A and B are shown apart, each in its own frame.
Chain A
């Protein structure tokens, strides 16, 4: 009797398991037949990502998850509660970086970054985080929106169909006025052609910047949308924003300073040649620069770039959804997705891969702290000399060293990988920064016997 019941149970389990397997196989087979359903028609004027999401629900679903806030060892953001106000309705923000490291405040004294600078959050937050940062109080131009909103349609409309004309027009507008022209954070149309879904560059500043950089390599008349390979595009679409930039002239034209090359000191040489400064340092009077998230430039110097690995390979790795293979549109740190991001190539256990990355980052962070301390020493010495009544001529050399040291340490600090994108390059740049900071101190020690600030050598 008991044996009979057990046998019945066995058959029942087999039947249920068989049905589950059958259903699963049926679903996969159905999915494989129709890789995508065209529910709506997408045109070059369809801006709303939700409409694109009707045709591409898997990609859209992942894209929306960029709201997530997760910390990693050296990066990522933490969701902190905040009491909303009339001017800033955000109830959640990321941690403040200038409170975590007060040396940043001293480095940026006199600049808006010393007032409010928080850890960056995911793509979904880019527009609201820009609109409500206290840095807006200094009156920003419409140029800022280039990388914080879905601008393709706005540029096209304002330019009457001419992307570049619209770009030039919006750059000049006050931020508040320009912000009325946009509705979304970066969206599908900013990277994809609506007709073919192929990757496409939509930002004039990158088209011009990459052409200028290619010229330094002897490539004339480079048109990124015509000449780039698909694998290059899987980095270039990201490089439309994850780069060093400045606003050129009174037109506030967004410009990528790449005509000398894209290494840190080549960019610094470019700024020196045109005598550009972001602001005058409040405590020392030095004409200083702010480096901005140069991920593309740093990555370009690293082993992954040399091996042909694109941004998307690690930050948007391929994943399976049933029978479909898609790229993960939940753009995030590969440290939160090691299996797909790293193990496709590296057949090493996850924990080991994580440790390798953290060793690189710990070394970079330690060197970054040394460079930051050296810069603080120089700023303190400069301030003392200035208070003691040294003339501008006597301070000039040390101020120039501060400008160089500060830009180079900020180049690594602002870069969002704590050195991982190009470990040796990051430490090389930091070593230059430390050298300049200490040389700046020496320049203040012996008036009359000051070493003059050497011109930065092009090409390192």
Chain B
């Protein structure tokens, strides 16, 4: 057996293993639930239980799901953000290296800020004024004061 055949055999084994384990993990971890909009999926893994409980009792429950505020509106950016967050969540949960009280990253805050301004554009545009450029401008931020509208904490 040449080293080339050995390598090809190894490739077959490793790729088979990766795909097999990946597929099994995906099914076992209810991966499919993350592709739709049901907020229950976000509380699959305990960490978001408090936020989920809070959302269930909030006013925004009637008009917005997790994804409406925590992912971008357009289809491709939405799934890109889901994929990125999914990777980091898996990474941190597996390594266990994260604090009990988690906080949104700046990029995540910007997505939420944009969401506020999309639905409430009538009032936010009036507040921000004609020279407003993007939600990343620190001058005015909805979620600085209204951070508990979606869920306490």
Binding site for B on A (CB under 8 A): 1, 4-5, 7-8, 11-12, 14-15, 17-22, 24-26, 28, 32, 318-320, 323, 325, 339-340, 343-344, 347
Contact = CB atoms under 8 A, between A and B. Distances in A.
Contacts of A18: 18, 21-22, 25
B100 A319 contact: yes
A5 B8 CA distance: 9
A208 B4 CA distance: 85
Contact of B21 (A22, A24, A26, A325): A22
Given A18-B25, A21-B25, A25-B45, A344 B10 contact: no
Nearest to B30: A25
A22 B25 contact: yes
Contact of A343 (B29, B49, B101, B147): B101
B28 interface: yes
Q: Interface centre among B24, B25, B45, B49, by most A CB within 10 Å?
A: B25
B129 interface: no
A377 to B, nearest CB: 47
Given A11-B18, A25-B45, 15 more contacts: A4-B7, A4-B11, A11-B15, A12-B18, A14-B18, A14-B21, A17-B94, A20-B94, A22-B21, A24-B94, A320-B46, A320-B100, A339-B101, A340-B99, A344-B153
Nearest to B147: A347
Given A21-B94, A323-B46, A15 B21 contact: yes
B103 interface: yes
Interface in B24-39: 24-25, 28-29
A15 B14 contact: yes
Nearest to B99: A339
Nearest to A31: B46
B46 A32 contact: yes
A14 B46 contact: no
Contacts of B17: 11-12, 15
Contacts of B46: 28, 32, 320, 323, 325
B132 interface: no
Contacts of A318: 100
B80 to A, nearest CB: 20
Q: Interface centre among A18, A22, A24, by most B CB within 10 Å?
A: A18
A174 B22 CA distance: 69
Contacts of A15: 14, 17-18, 21-22
B134 interface: no
A28 B101 CA distance: 18
Nearest to B44: A25
B56 to A, nearest CB: 17
A325 B53 CA distance: 14
Contacts of B18: 11-12, 14-15, 18
Contacts of A21: 25, 29, 90, 93-94
Given A320-B46, A339-B101, A343-B101, A24 B93 contact: yes
24 contacts: A4-B11, A5-B7, A11-B11, A11-B14, A11-B18, A12-B14, A12-B18, A14-B21, A14-B22, A15-B17, A18-B22, A19-B21, A20-B94, A21-B29, A22-B24, A22-B25, A24-B93, A32-B46, A320-B100, A339-B100, A339-B101, A343-B103, A344-B101, A344-B153
Nearest to A9: B14
Contacts of A7: 11, 15
Contacts, number: 77
Nearest to B50: A325
A428 B139 CA distance: 39
A436 to B, nearest CB: 44
A448 to B, nearest CB: 64
Contacts of B47: 320
A344 B18 CA distance: 39
Contacts of A325: 46, 49
Interface string B63-107: 000000000000000000000000000100110000111010000
B82 to A, nearest CB: 16
A153 B97 CA distance: 42
Contacts of A20: 94
Nearest 6 A-B pairs (CB), nearest first? Answer: A11-B14, A18-B21, A14-B18, A15-B18, A15-B17, A11-B18
Interface in B1-23: 4, 7-8, 10-11, 14-15, 17-18, 21-22
A25 B29 contact: yes
Nearest to B20: A15
Nearest to A24: B94
A22 B22 CA distance: 9
A203 B21 CA distance: 57
Q: Interface centre among B17, B47, B103, by most A CB within 10 Å?
A: B17
B11 A8 contact: yes
A131 to B, nearest CB: 37
A1 B4 CA distance: 8
Given A15-B18, A339-B100, A28 B153 contact: no
A82 to B, nearest CB: 36
A4 B9 CA distance: 11
Given A25-B29, A28-B46, A8 B100 contact: no
Nearest to B17: A15
